[in-house]
């Protein structure tokens, strides 16, 4: 029952927050308390998990004629996503401490938390899809109401683009039900399916948009740039992870034979994302767009890891997903902070911020170094494990992944040069860089996590390694 509460109490609570708190400032405390409880519940779930396989939390609303039943089940992969999500939600709440129009903002955030927990907890395809789509609603409003100048275009593009992609997913689910007679994703056997290839492609396209993989990524730069910084964190840290999670769970683990056959498609698109987005980031002078492209580039790495389909590479992919969330988030937050203070997005207008705001700049540099894969940060471990495991699977030519790392080193170091160090620009000179303690606290937590898991990744790998131990996957395994 508490599992049901995890999903639906936020959805009901969001209405309460929207109508009752009336911008009185209580909304953020309610949100913080709720997300804290969700983190606690996730940890409890993690403690209770069996060694392998799923843990059933409850079945509700059974429609026998259509196998339409809310089945809540979690395994290690979903609990890791729940943990990541609830940590990020808490940090996002902290970093939007002084957001305007708080009642509505936190109501949407709370609504989102319920929907996203639903995505990771439900194993019935239809309910999975319901929650998957439900996450779009709060995001549409968060981008559209609190966003920058081009927010309307970005919000509608994001909504339409991802909604259309979802239709492919729904069609795939219907085909699966037609051919196997069940919507239960834990029961699907690939051998039963009549048209596994069609289903694989429908699912792949649907999830590739969310992840996003080149060439389906065009919604992301718009949405990320226009969204307020904390919402960008949610987009990068949670929404993209939804895509990667579904990709691992349904495209790889559920249909391993087809995935084996078309692994090269994922590999090529992953490589293209890595390099194309890297070059775009190099070219970009808009500081937040640069971070957005860097985010796509790193999701390309995750896709490469997924395509290798071995035990090590999938673990590395999940590690990189977590690393990406912790590394990209402070970059977005700080880019948003710089814009908030200076009023400009252009790197050309900035420079020498280090002298005015040393602590925030230091965290920006740290996260940036994480993104380019400096040892002792999460980025290094992620990139190294992905490189090794995918070379094992596909051969040494995949050393070109390092080109992606070089690219990210190039654009990040150049960005440091233009934004953080260098001559202090006039704009920066007359700007007062002050950040509230709470917002700084969330940045500090991100910085600590990046370094902590960079030096001591073992606990994370212990968690992740058990995820795939229950599966027999093709490829190197």
Partner 1 sequence: MSAFVVLFASALFSFAIRGVLIQKAFAFSALVVAGSLVILGYTTPLSGFGSNTIISFFELIVFIVFGAVVLSEDETINITQSLFIASASLLLLESKTILTFVISFEALSIISFILVSNIKNATQAEGALKMFISGAIATGLIVLGLSLYTIEGHSLNEAISMKAGLFGTLGLWIILVGLFYKLTIVPMHGWAADSYAQVRPSHAAVLSGVAKTVVVIALFYTFSPFILENLSFNSPIFLVLSVVTMTIGNVLALFQKKIGRILSYSSIAHAGYMLLPFAVLESSFASTGLLYMAIAYIFMQTALFLLLDKLSNGNSDMTLEQFKGLATKQKLSALFFTVQLFSLAGIPLLGGFISKAILVYAVVDVNLTVVALIVLLNSALSVGYYAWIIKHIYFDGVSGENKITQVAIMPLLAQTILLLGTLYFGIFAYSVFSVTI
Subset of residues 423 to 462 that bind partner 1, contact rule: CB under 8 A = none
Instruction: Collapse the DSSP code of 373 into the 3-class scheme (helix H, G, I; strand E, B; otherwise coil) and give the result.
Output: coil
Interface pick for partner 1 out of 163, 192, 459, 469 (rule CB under 8 A): 163
Interface pick for partner 1 out of 4, 148, 156, 406 (rule CB under 8 A): 156
160 binds partner 1 (CB under 8 A): yes
Instruction: Collapse the DSSP code of 1 into the 3-class scheme (helix H, G, I; strand E, B; otherwise coil) and give the result.
Output: coil
192 binds partner 1 (CB under 8 A): no
Binding mask 352-391 for partner 1 (x = CB under 8 A): ----------------------------------------
Task: Give the nearer residue to partner 1 in terms of CB position, either 125 or 468.
Answer: 125
Tell me the window of 155-163, 326-334, 336-344, 435-443 that interacts with partner 1 (CB under 8 A): 155-163
Instruction: Collapse the DSSP code of 182 into the 3-class scheme (helix H, G, I; strand E, B; otherwise coil) and give the result.
Output: coil
133 binds partner 1 (CB under 8 A): yes
Task: Give the nearer residue to partner 1 in terms of CB position, either 18 or 394.
Answer: 18
283 binds partner 1 (CB under 8 A): no
| 91 burial level (CB within 10 Å; 0-12, 13-18, 19+) | buried
- Angle 64-68-74 from CA coordinates, rounded to 5°: 120
Tell me the sheet residues that pair with 345. none
Joined together, the tokens standing for residue 412 give 């990040």
Residues in the chain: 477
CB-based contacts of 422, cutoff 8 Å, min separation 6? 351, 352
Task: Give the nearer residue to partner 1 in terms of CB position, either 151 or 298.
Answer: 151
| 188 burial level (CB within 10 Å; 0-12, 13-18, 19+) | buried
Task: Give the nearer residue to partner 1 in terms of CB position, either 239 or 401.
Answer: 239
Instruction: Collapse the DSSP code of 60 into the 3-class scheme (helix H, G, I; strand E, B; otherwise coil) and give the result.
Output: strand
CB of 152 to partner 1, least distance (A): 6
- The count of chain residues that interact with partner 1, using the rule CB under 8 A, is 39
49 binds partner 1 (CB under 8 A): no
CA distance 399 to 401: 5
Write out the H or E segment, with its range, that includes residue 446. Answer: helix 437-455
Task: Give the nearer residue to partner 1 in terms of CB position, either 136 or 398.
Answer: 136
CB 304 within 8 A of CB 386: yes
Write out the H or E segment, with its range, that includes residue 143. Answer: helix 136-146
Task: Give the nearer residue to partner 1 in terms of CB position, either 164 or 376.
Answer: 164
Between the CA of residue 430 and those of 69, 287, 324, 348, 349, what are the distances in Å?
59, 20, 34, 16, 12
Between the CA of residue 98 and those of 105, 253, 385, 471, what are the distances in Å?
11, 42, 39, 45
Tell me the window of 145-153, 271-279, 313-321, 328-336 that interacts with partner 1 (CB under 8 A): 145-153
152 binds partner 1 (CB under 8 A): yes
CB of 258 to partner 1, least distance (A): 17
19 binds partner 1 (CB under 8 A): yes
Binding mask 57-96 for partner 1 (x = CB under 8 A): ----xxxxxx-x----------------------------
134 binds partner 1 (CB under 8 A): yes
Task: Give the nearer residue to partner 1 in terms of CB position, either 28 or 151.
Answer: 151
**DSSP-derived pairing of the beta strands 68-74 and 55-63:** antiparallel
Interface pick for partner 1 out of 32, 39, 43, 137 (rule CB under 8 A): 137
178 binds partner 1 (CB under 8 A): yes
CB of 103 to partner 1, least distance (A): 10
279 binds partner 1 (CB under 8 A): no
Per DSSP, helices labelled H in 218-371 are: 219-226, 229-234, 240-246, 256-261, 263-283, 287-308, 311-342, 353-356, 358-371
| Binding residues vs partner 1 (CB under 8 A) | 18-19, 61-66, 68, 126, 129-131, 133-134, 136-137, 140-141, 144-145, 151-152, 155-156, 159-160, 163-164, 166-168, 170-171, 174-175, 177-178, 198
């Amino acid at each position: 029952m508490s599992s049901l509460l995890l999903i639906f109490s936020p959805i009901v609570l969001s209405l309460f927050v929207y109508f009752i708190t009336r911008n009185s400032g209580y909304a953020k405390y309610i949100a913080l308390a709720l997300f804290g409880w969700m983190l606690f519940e996730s940890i409890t779930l993690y403690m209770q998990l069996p060694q392998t396989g799923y843990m059933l939390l409850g079945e509700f609303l059974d429609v026998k004629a259509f196998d339409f039943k809310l089945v809540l089940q979690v395994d290690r992969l979903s609990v890791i996503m729940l943990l990541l999500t609830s940590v990020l939600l808490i940090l996002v709440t902290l970093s939007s401490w002084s957001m305007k129009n708080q009642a509505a903002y936190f109501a949407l955030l709370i609504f989102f938390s319920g929907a996203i927990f639903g995505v990771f907890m439900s194993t019935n395809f239809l309910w999975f899809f319901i929650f998957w789509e439900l996450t779009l609603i709060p995001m549409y409003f968060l981008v559209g109401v609190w966003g920058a100048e081009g927010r309307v275009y970005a919000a509608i593009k994001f909504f339409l683009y991802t909604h259309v992609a979802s239709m492919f997913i729904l069609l795939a689910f219907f085909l699966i039900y037609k051919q196997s007679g069940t919507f239960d994703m834990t029961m699907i056997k690939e051998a039963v399916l009549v048209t596994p290839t069609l289903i694989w492609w429908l699912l792949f396209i649907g999830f590739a948009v969310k992840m996003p993989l080149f060439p389906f990524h065009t919604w992301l730069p718009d949405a990320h740039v226009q969204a307020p910084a904390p919402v960008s964190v949610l987009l990068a840290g949670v929404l993209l992870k939804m895509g990667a999670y579904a990709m691992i769970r349904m495209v790889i683990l559920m249909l391993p034979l087809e995935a084996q056959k078309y692994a090269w498609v994922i590999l090529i698109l992953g490589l293209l994302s890595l390099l194309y987005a890297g070059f775009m980031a190099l070219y970009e002078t808009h500081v937040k767009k640069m971070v957005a492209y860097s985010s796509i580039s790193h999701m390309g790495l995750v896709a490469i890891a997924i395509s290798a389909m071995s035990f090590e590479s999938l673990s590395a992919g999940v590690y990189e997903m977590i690393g990406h969330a912790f590394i990209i988030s402070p970059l977005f937050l700080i880019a948003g902070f710089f814009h908030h203070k200076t009023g400009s997005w252009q790197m050309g207008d900035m420079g020498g911020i280090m002298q005015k705001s040393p602590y925030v700049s230091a965290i920006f540099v740290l996260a940036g170094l994480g993104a380019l894969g400096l040892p002792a940060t999460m980025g290094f471990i992620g990139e190294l494990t992905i490189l090794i495991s995918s070379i094992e699977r596909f051969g040494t030519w995949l050393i070109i992944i390092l080109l992606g790392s070089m690219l990210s080193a190039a654009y990040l170091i150049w960005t440091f040069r233009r934004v953080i160090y260098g001559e202090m620009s006039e704009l920066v000179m007359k700007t007062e860089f002050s950040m509230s303690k709470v917002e700084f606290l969330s940045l500090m937590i991100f910085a600590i996590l990046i370094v902590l898991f960079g030096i001591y990744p073992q606990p994370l790998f212990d968690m992740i390694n058990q995820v795939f131990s229950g599966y027999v996957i093709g490829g190197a395994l």
